[in-house]
């Protein structure tokens, strides 16, 4: 995630901003609820008004390195992920346009990333075929097994950027302090309110 995207998310803190936002494409004022684009060259999230976002729904291929971020938030049943080698209990996995699979975990310094072994990813997808349909670059498989949680989600990439911002904003000291985990729990409670039902 670029510093610009992270600064916007931190400023908003996952809540409505104090000042009206504007479309990063055309400059029009935005309602509180609006779509996002991912600039894949800068790993930056951009806000988009409805007319601009419709441009990206119609013909993504001709619009270069911008991708419309989906709005799907689907909570999955339990998914065994041990073979992915995730060293922490909070991580997300993104499939690239080239089909490479990269895992990230939020930290107080931003996002730490590593490439997932392709056979390991295929083993997880074989158990949960929904993961084969992740939209490259803009959708993620989000895993939360921290502190006894057992949550597995398909979410838009901007939710993952928001989670990184929450961890960065609330982390204190070496262990995270007393604020980070309640904030992470609040993030997942918000996902629950906005989720779709699993088919």
CA-CA distance, 38 to 41, in Å (whole number)? Answer: 9
CA-CA distance, 144 to 131, in Å (whole number)? Answer: 16
pLDDT for 131-181, tens place per residue? 999 999 999 999 999 888 899 999 999 999 999 999 999 999 888 888 999
Q: Where are the beta strands (DSSP E) in 41-126?
A: 44-48, 66-68, 74-76, 90-95, 101-107, 110-115
Residue ranges of domains in the chain = 3-68, 74-194
pTM passes above 0.75: yes
pLDDT for 49-84, tens place per residue? 999 888 887 544 446 788 999 999 999 988 888 888
């Amino acid at each position: 995630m670029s510093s610009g995207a992270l600064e916007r998310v931190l400023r908003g803190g996952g809540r409505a901003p104090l000042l009206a936002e504007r479309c990063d494409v055309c400059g029009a004022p935005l309602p509180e609820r609006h779509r996002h684009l991912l600039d894949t060259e800068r790993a930056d999230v951009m806000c988009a008004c409805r007319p601009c976002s419709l441009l990206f729904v119609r013909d993504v291929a001709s619009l270069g390195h911008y991708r419309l971020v989906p709005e799907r938030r689907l909570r999955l049943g339990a998914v065994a992920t041990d073979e992915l080698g995730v060293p922490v209990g909070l991580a997300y996995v993104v499939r690239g346009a080239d089909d490479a699979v990269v895992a990230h975990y939020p930290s107080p310094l931003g996002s730490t990333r590593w490439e997932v072994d392709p056979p390991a990813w295929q083993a997880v997808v074989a158990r949960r075929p929904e993961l084969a349909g992740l939209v490259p670059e803009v959708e993620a498989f989000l895993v939360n097994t921290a502190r006894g949680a057992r949550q597995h989600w398909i979410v838009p990439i901007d939710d993952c950027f928001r989670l990184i911002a929450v961890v960065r904003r609330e982390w204190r000291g070496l262990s995270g302090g007393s604020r980070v985990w309640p904030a992470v729990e609040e993030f997942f409670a918000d996902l629950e309110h906005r989720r779709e039902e699993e088919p």
